[in-house]
Amino acid sequence: MSENVHVMLTEEEVAGRIKELGKEISGDYEGRELLVVGILKGAAFFATELAKRITVPVRMEFMSTSSYGSSTVSSGTVKIKQDIETDVAGMNVLIAEDIIDSGRTLAFLLDYFKKKGAESVRIATLLDKPDRREVDVNVDYNGFTIPDEFVVGYGLDYDQKYRNLPYIGILELD
Confirm if 86 and 61 have CB atoms less than 8 A apart. Answer: yes
pLDDT tens column, 71-97:
545 556 788 999 999 999 999 999 999
**Quick one: which of 168, 166, 84 has its CA closest to 126?**
168
Q: Note the pLDDT tens digit of each residue in 92-115.
A: 999 999 999 889 999 999 999 999
Which amino acid does the sequence have at 83? D
Element (H or E) spanning 26, and its range?
A: helix 11-28
The whole model's pTM is what? 0.91
* Other Cβ atoms within 10 Å of 113 Cβ, number: 21
Which one is catalytic: 28, 87, 98, 101?
101
- pLDDT at residue number 89: 98
Side-chain-facing half-sphere of 5: CA atoms under 13 Å? 19
Closest CA to 78 of 87, 66, 90, 70: 66
What average pLDDT does this structure show over 127-131?
94
pLDDT digits (tens, 9 = 90+) for 10-59: 999 999 999 999 999 999 999 999 999 999 999 999 999 999 999 999 99
Would the pLDDT of 69 be above 60? no
Task: Tell me, yes or no, if 101 is annotated catalytic.
Answer: yes
